[in-house]
Structure 1
Amino acid sequence: MSRVTEPPAALDAFSVRFVDRDEEVADGLRAVAADVVGVDVERADADSYFRRAALVQVGVAGHCLLLDGVTLPAMPDLDAFLGPDRVAVLHAIENDLEPLAAKGVVPDRVADTAVAAAVLGLPTGLGSLLDEVLGVQLTADKEAYQRADWEERPLSDGMAAYAAGDVVHLPALWREMADRLDAAGRRHWYEQELTATVARAGESTRDWTRVKGSGRLAPEQRAVLRAVWEERERLAQEHDIAPNRLLHDDVLRSIATEPPRTVPQLVRRSQRRRNLLRRHAADLFAAVERGLEAAPEPRETSGHRWSDGDRRVFDALRRARTEVADELGVDAGVLCPSKPLWRAITGQPQDAAELCALVELRPWQTEVLAPSLWDAYVRARADADGADEPDPSVDEAPLP
């Protein structure tokens, strides 16, 4: 984290109140008591395992309340404030729900302007979106403030203005986006995407198989990787350390491919933060030894050998998806990511509904994609069937 030294953004466009005492929170919230409020979180947890809010912003046009996450361990008044009679508007909600929940804040009704922008084909970055939709330009250096130390007190004028600027425009932005969603007939698209986004935000995606390159390791190496990853995870949680700060994924792969024979050898594998690693090296080395004695971890595969024909079918599905996305004016990845389309090939669907179910499309995606995907699949499969043998150089394809 760093201190931002560039000139602050202007504070004269809105008033800002900073609150760091429990007894002042309720009074501060009265100044932003509208039906729709902007909410954002500034975090200071880059070196920590758990996400935590250093600052929580609540804003409406002309005013912003800054709640000090450093001195306020919980925010029950804010939780009550964001009840069923009020909409909390966030941008990229998946980044903020966990640190809010850690403060005991779970909004009853939420809106996400980033999700709305995605299904409307608009820029999803807040600065670009505000400029295009409302003609509002945020002048602060976003990258610099993202690197700032948000636990620094007192907050500089520039940091306070930047934090407020992220929320005071959100209510107006959401109202405009909601009107556009209704006009385009895409409100149900948005609602399904928002539900999926909130659900993903509550799921843990941490898993040893997500270490880059783990799928290419030999089964014996994968056993070592898993054992050391799980021990790193345990230590990271117990001591609230960012896992990669304790032992980077690149070092994990190195340990898995060439296991160290001693604790000092393990420590020397890491080029940074060796003092931190030394404190936990004995536990990690014990995990290496457990991994060497463990049963091999087989590679996860689909059990399907890909032929050149399969790849042509996959390419046809991607092209069909992209053509529909272009017609709708949305990003192809929003309409349907490429990777799940492989499941349509391994599952050998019998109709459009089965194809869309294999790809796990949401109802709105099925609505707009099913005919084009099925037509592309049938045509490409007819051309590919019998034309190719499975590629002998690839035993099985990895699971998507």
Structure 2
Amino acid sequence: MNSDYVWIASHEALEAALPAWQAAQELALDTEFIRTHTFYPQPALLQIADDQQIYLLDLLALDQAPSRAALASLLASGPTKIFHSAGEDLELLHHWLNVRVAPFIDTQLASALITQEMSVGYQRLVETYLDIQLEKGETRSDWLQRPLTPSQCHYAAQDVEYLLACWHALAAQLSVQQREILEQESAYQAQAACEREATPWLRLKQNWRLTPRQLTVIQALAVWREEQARRLDRPRSRIASDSLLHDLAEQGPSSLVQLGQISEASPGWVKRFGAEVLSVIAESQALPPEEDPAPLLSPQSPAYRTLLKKLRAALQALAAEQQVPVELLAKRKQLDLWTQDLAAQRPLHLSEAWPEWRRLALQPRLAALQRDVGYPDALLQNALPQDA
């Protein structure tokens, strides 16, 4: 292939291409979208490549029930779908088609298992394995415009042109254990893209500055903002900034007048959201104090830093033992949650949604860490209960 492509902008053309895709063992895929002024990504283009041809699917023209159903069927089963850095692609396809992509492999994750680097880009992957240098080109392009420029189409086609070859090179280097981890983590990633964020307040920084009652309020406000962003299809920041949520939690206004005195609460914002926000705050403040979260330790405190250092050391040792990137075991937000739990001597939880290999690897290491920091015997006997 040399970046030549077939443009598909009708259901008839889609139906003509489907048999070849369904008969393939593997397909390379990518998407182009715009997400500047909306909560959900606006689909523009779906790129598909088999071992013979590249196809560019105009999702604006194919946004009709028969075409969406056909694509959903293809993505939900059949050939293995190969993506690179698939998080936003999976989210877009789930929102647009209500589909969980399967079977599915992420070549960025495959590369991470081999190189121990979590964020290797597609251009670097192609250069490493195929000795081909790609231009970044149309990264910030307007993918919703029609017609697309030749440059845009060339860029989009290249995003899948070399992906299968890269995957085959990566697959040849993966051990049996790495392949099992890759398949479990890819399946988990695909499922996670279909689920709503359960704890949107974890996106907020500086929560450790709040009292337990203020934490109750900001948790409720974060859920309210998430629901509004989804309902109105607007970015979270367009509903309320993180700093505004913190001001609301700290000041706890009980009237529109008090609400209007908060610097970021413009008259238009108060008129549109004021009554709802005051209701959320009032309901949160009416909850029994025993339902408030425990206070959080400052990340700048010596105690927090000591516990985080021990946690990181335990995970780095485990990552070296498992031959995986340490970031695959736990991301930064999870490290903070566990550090706060260690400080309060609460059980460290492992979600049942996590891939089995990860839970089995983490459980004994975190149980040992709890013993090391001096957990009471009663807690150690029930170490690491699984989330329901």
TM-score, normalised with respect to structure 2 = 0.73
2 CA distance for matches of 1:110 and 1:191? 8
Q: What whole-Å deviation, never above 9, does each CA across 1:26-57 have from its counterpart, x for those lacking one?
A: 22446766321111122223432334422211
Identify which of 4, 7, 12 aligns with 1:23.
12
Segments of structure 2 that go 5 or more residues without pairing to the other structure are 376-388
Q: Secondary structure at 1:167's aligned position in 2?
A: helix
Offset, 1:253: 0.6
Structure 1 stretches of 5 or more lacking a match? 1-11, 350-354, 387-400
Paired residue total: 359
2:383 alignment partner in structure 1: none
Cα RMSD between the aligned structures? 4.3
Give, in whole Å, the separation in 2 of the partners of 1:273 and 1:367. 50
Is 1:220–1:295's contact at 8 Å kept on the other side of the alignment? no
- Between the aligned partners of 1:26 and 1:337, the Cα distance in structure 2 is 41
Give the counterpart of 2:97 among 82, 103, 118: 103
In the alignment, the residues of structure 2 paired with residue 185 and residue 280 of structure 1 have an alpha-carbon distance, to the nearest angstrom, of 52
Residue range with higher mean Cα deviation, 285-294 or 12-21: 285-294
2:196 to 182, 204, 211: 204
Aligned counterpart, 1:188: 180
Deviation of 1:72 (Å): 2.4
Q: Do 2:9 and 2:58's aligned partners in 1 also have CA atoms closer than 8 Å?
A: yes
Counterpart CA distance in 2 for 1:172 and 1:149 is 28
Q: Distance in 2 between matches of 1:361 and 1:77?
A: 30
Q: Conserved in 2, the CA contact under 8 Å of 1:321 and 1:335? A: yes
Which runs of structure 2 are paired with 1:318-357 in the superposition (5 Å)? Answer: 318-323=312-317, 325-326=319-320, 330-335=324-329, 339=335
Shift in CA distance, 55/261, structure 1 to aligned 2, threshold 3 Å: same
SS at match of 2:46: strand
SS of match in other structure, 1:162 = helix
Indicate the percent of aligned positions where both proteins have the same amino acid. Answer: 26
Question: What are the within-5 Å matches in structure 2 for residues 1-400 of structure 1?
Answer: 13-29=2-18, 34-61=24-51, 63-73=53-63, 74=65, 75-82=68-75, 84-101=77-94, 102-121=96-115, 123=117, 124-141=120-137, 145=139, 147-182=140-175, 185-210=177-202, 211-260=204-253, 263=256, 266=259, 269=262, 278-296=271-289, 298-300=292-294, 315-316=309-310, 318-323=312-317, 325-326=319-320, 330-335=324-329, 339=335, 364=357, 373=365, 381=372
Change in Cα spacing, 1:359 to 1:314, as seen in structure 2 (3 Å) is farther
Task: Name the CA shift for 1:219/1:181 in 2 (closer, same or farther; >3 Å).
Answer: same
Counterparts in 2 of 1:276 and 1:150: CA distance versus 1, 3 Å = farther
Amino acid paired to 1:200? A
1:55-76 per-residue CA deviation (whole Å, 9 max, x = no partner) reads: 2111235632222222322422
Closer, same or farther: CA 276–129 of 1 in aligned 2, 3 Å:
farther
- Quote the offset at 1:111 in angstroms: 1.6
TM-score between both structures, scaled by the size of structure 1: 0.71
Q: 1:243 to 1:82 in 2, by over 3 A?
A: closer
- What displacement does 1:138 show? 2.0
Alpha-carbon distance between aligned partners in 1 of 2:207 and 2:349, rounded to the nearest angstrom: 29
Partners of 1:220 and 1:310 in 2: CA distance: 22
Task: Report if the CA contact (8 A) 1:314-1:345 is conserved.
Answer: no
CA contact (8 A) 2:103 2:187 kept: no
CA offset at residue 252 of structure 1?
0.8
Distance of 2:273 and 2:35 partners within structure 1 = 21
Instruction: Report Cα offsets for 1:210-240 as digits up to 9, x if no partner.
Output: 2323343123323433443343333323222
Residue identity in the other structure for 1:153:
R
C-alpha separation between the residues in 1 aligned to 2:178 and 2:126? 20
Structure 1 letter corresponding to 2:81? A
State whether residues 246 and 273 of structure 1, in contact with CA within 8 Å, keep that contact through their aligned partners in structure 2: no
- Give the partner amino acid of 2:185: E
Mapped partners of 1:385, 1:226: distance in 2: 30
- Aligned CA distance change for structure 1 residues 282 and 327 (closer, same or farther; 3 Å): closer
Distance 1:224 1:312, change over 3 A: closer
Please give the secondary structure, in 2, of the residue aligned with 1:13. Answer: coil
Secondary structure of the structure 2 residue equivalent to 1:186: helix
SS of the residue corresponding to residue 159 of structure 1 reads helix
Q: Evaluate the alpha carbon distance shift between residue 179 and residue 319 of structure 1 in structure 2; reply closer, same or farther with a 3 A threshold.
A: same
What is the alpha-carbon distance in structure 1 between the residues aligned to residue 346 and residue 172 of structure 2?
A: 41
Which whole-Å CA distance do the structure 2 matches of 1:230 and 1:47 have between them?
20
Shift of 1:259: 3.8
Verify the 8 A CA contact 2:303 2:343 in the aligned structure 1: no
Letter in 1 for 2:107: T
Measure, in 1, the Cα distance between the counterparts of 2:267 and 2:75: 44
The structure-2 alpha-carbon separation of the partners of 1:328 and 1:107, relative to structure 1 and needing over 3 Å to count, comes to closer
